[in-house]
Amino acid sequence: MPRVSGDLAALRPLLLAAGLGLGVAAVSEPGAAPAGPAEAAAAASMPEQRRREFLAGRRAARRALRAVGLDCGEIPRSGRLPVFPPGRAASISHSAGIAVAVACGPGRALPLGCDLELRPLPREAARLVLRTDEEPLLAAWSVTALFSAKESAWKALALAEGGLREVRASSCGDELRVCPRVDPARAVRVRVVPVGAGVFSYVAGGDITRG
């Protein structure tokens, strides 16, 4: 998907302005290999397609970290979560053979979360993503954008339980503000941009100024 990769690469200046590095990797890249024994062991236990996605995600994360001046070797996992060396962190997403990651530079404490959705969701899926008080958002945002924004926020907020209906989205200018329903002051701002037929979203910062 060269066009999608190009669309994502064009976003690098936008993310760098927000203090974030962007990394992109395709599942189809030749010569992909684990970066160390922990990645190799994890990949060996996966079906072929999942293994290729896993390795592409690790490549994307290393590229995102390099974009902010940080080197990183292998990235093992704990459960389904990546484990980064001290002083390094990234958020990884996959869709339709493309992996993308965002990372923040040294000394920065930005909340990290991103999501790539290259297969648009039908409007009927709104009931799986939104509650009644969020339905007015559909006048300005697609279901895919709202789903992706909530996925990015879920990662940045490090939520472990519940589903996307347990976080609430609201418009905040050209961004979305997303917070846990049980803790509305703990919020992040999410930017959603079109990529091909889908969207890419990333957390642009924290926002605890509104309840």
What local confidence, expressed as pLDDT, does residue 208 receive? 47
Q: For tokens 């922990």, name the residue.
A: 38
Confidence band for 118, pLDDT divided at 50, 70 and 90: very high
The dihedral of CA 89, 196, 48, 25: what is its sign? negative
What local confidence, expressed as pLDDT, does residue 2 receive? 63
Q: Considering the chain, what is the average pLDDT of its residues?
A: 92
Work out the average pLDDT over 78-85. 88
What local confidence, expressed as pLDDT, does residue 211 receive? 38
Helix, strand, coil percentages, rounded to 5, for the chain: 35, 25, 40
The β-bridge relationship of strands 198-206 and 114-117 is: antiparallel
What local confidence, expressed as pLDDT, does residue 3 receive? 77
pLDDT higher at 144 or 162: 144
pLDDT higher at 206 or 209: 206
What does the pLDDT look like over 90-114, one tens digit per residue?
A: 999 999 999 999 999 887 778 999 9
What local confidence, expressed as pLDDT, does residue 210 receive? 44
Work out the average pLDDT over 58-64. 96
For the whole model, what pTM was predicted?
0.92
**Percent of the chain scoring above 70 in pLDDT:** 97
Would you give the DSSP letter of residue 157?
Answer: T
Annotated domain spans of the chain: 2-109, 116-206
Confidence band for 124, pLDDT divided at 50, 70 and 90: very high
Q: Which CATH number fits domain 2-109: 3.90.470.20, 3.40.50.2000, 3.40.50.300, 3.30.70.2190?
A: 3.90.470.20
Residue 18 pLDDT exceeds 90: no
Contact 113, 154 (CB under 8 A): yes
What local confidence, expressed as pLDDT, does residue 1 receive? 57
Q: For tokens 């009644």, name the residue.
A: 132
